[in-house]
Amino acid sequence: MSAGHDVRLLDVFKGQPKAVWITAFAAVIAFMGIGLVDPILLSIATSLHAGPEQVTLLFSSYLGVQVVAMLITGAFSARFGAKRTVVTGLVLIVLATLACAMADSIGQLVALRAVWGLGNAFFIATALSVIVGAASGGQQAAILLYEAALGIGLSTGPLLGALLGNISWRGPFAGTAALMAIALILSAGFLPKDSNRADRPKIRLLDPIRALGHSGLLRTSLGSAFYTAAFFVVLAWSPFVLEFGAIAVGLVFFGWGLCVAVAGVTLAPRLAARFGAVGGTVLAVLIYAVLLGVMAVGSKPVVVVGVILSGLASGLLNTLFTGSAMSVSNAPRPVASAGYNFCRWLGGAAAATLVGHVAEWFGSRHAPFAASAVLCVIAAGLLVTDLRTKPDKHGVPAEAALVGEEL
């Protein structure tokens, strides 16, 4: 990407309408929820007398419901409108996070995280379209704004979780409820009214599944599922390997989130320009596999460095995988995105569910990192097949890669 890209990145923040800033603010808080529980996993386990395999279900229930809900959000938005969909999602998140702060058992927390995942699916799947429709500067400006919100949310979520979690494990949930309540009030009051139903695109419930009949989209989606499984092993399991306090874990994942943001905004377009979206994805996922392999045999300081550096690979892959998925088939982008996200988050939900059991089966807390490295190699193999079957026509994803839709 040329230097002009950097100028545009600064320019897109100027003169945006209120609807864009409100949605972007809500997106930051929504993405914070992904890493919010990381620093307090050990505290939750101790306070609620739960084992690691139970605590990691906080990710499984969140992602599992989000996986299924992703298939219906497009049809819901087409029927009821984007604003109603966003507000519905925010209401569910506020109620779920507030209830999480008052939960008395790990079972209650797991169930409430499922409701949180449902709300997140409604919000995340719709927010980008709201920003695209309202942002000045066109689709590229909207994507960069949304990507900036993603990076800020991923980096500040663990930090907020650490600061509030150092007081009580209930603090991060209460803080998120308060922030999302503000986002809900602003969204309900200032987002533009929904258009007439006749003017909205018609999306059927099974369209995302039908889109996966395209071999290129299916391979890309499955490759992303394997990568996302590895991604959530790092996110959900590293605190149990490090055994640090909330503040220390929060700082580690703050560094990780900054790397995700930097790589997704600035490095991914350059890598795609040099190797193509598919070629760049193969390279990045193999780098991720190497990092995970090192983490599997390294000491705690090595794992800390590996977690932070893995953020660079994740930032690249979040952008590049989605860029490939959006351009590899002729399916409409909302439909292709729904099918792709269904596979992707299914991988994350499965990993969060099984990670504790993998460590138990192999008798090592480092074993999940080794298993994740293997998953990344499988993902690369799927993409190499796609690369060999036809030339890589996926160009620089500054406009095509809908990075905001991947988390």
Percent of the chain whose pLDDT exceeds 70? 84
For the chain, percent of residues with pLDDT exceeding 90 = 26
For residue range 67-121, list pLDDT tens digits in order. 888 788 777 877 788 788 889 999 999 999 999 999 999 999 999 999 999 998 8
DSSP per residue over 36-64, as a string?
Answer: TTGGGHHHHHHHTT--HHHHTHHHHHHHH
Cα separation, 73 vs 90, in Å, equals 14
**CA angle (260 as vertex; 380, 82 as ends), nearest 5:** 95
Please determine, for residue 294, whether its predicted confidence score (pLDDT) is greater than 90.
yes
Angle made by CA atoms 230, 386, 407, in degrees to the nearest 5: 40
Q: Assign a CATH topology to domain 3-406.
A: Growth Hormone; Chain: A; (1.20.1250)
Query: How far apart are the C-alpha atoms of 4 and 139, rounded to whole Å?
Result: 16
Residue 5 has pLDDT above 60, yes or no: no
Global pTM value: 0.81
The whole-number average pLDDT for the span 258-282 is 86
Look at residue 394 and tell me whether its pLDDT is greater than 50: no
**Residue boundaries of the structural domains of the chain:** 3-406
| Phi, psi values for residue 383, rounded to 5° | -75, -35
Q: How many CA atoms lie within 13 A of 144 on its CB side?
A: 23
Residue 240 has pLDDT above 80, yes or no: yes
Range with the poorest average pLDDT among 158-162, 246-250, 293-297, 396-400 = 396-400
- What digits encode the pLDDT tens for the residues 130-150? 776 666 665 556 666 776 777
pLDDT in tens, 325-343: 777 788 776 677 778 888 9
Q: How close are the terminal C-alpha atoms of the chain, in Å?
A: 24
* Rounded-to-integer distance, Cα 85 and Cα 119, Å: 9
- Cβ neighbours for 88, distance < 8 A, ≥ 6 positions apart: 76, 80, 119, 122
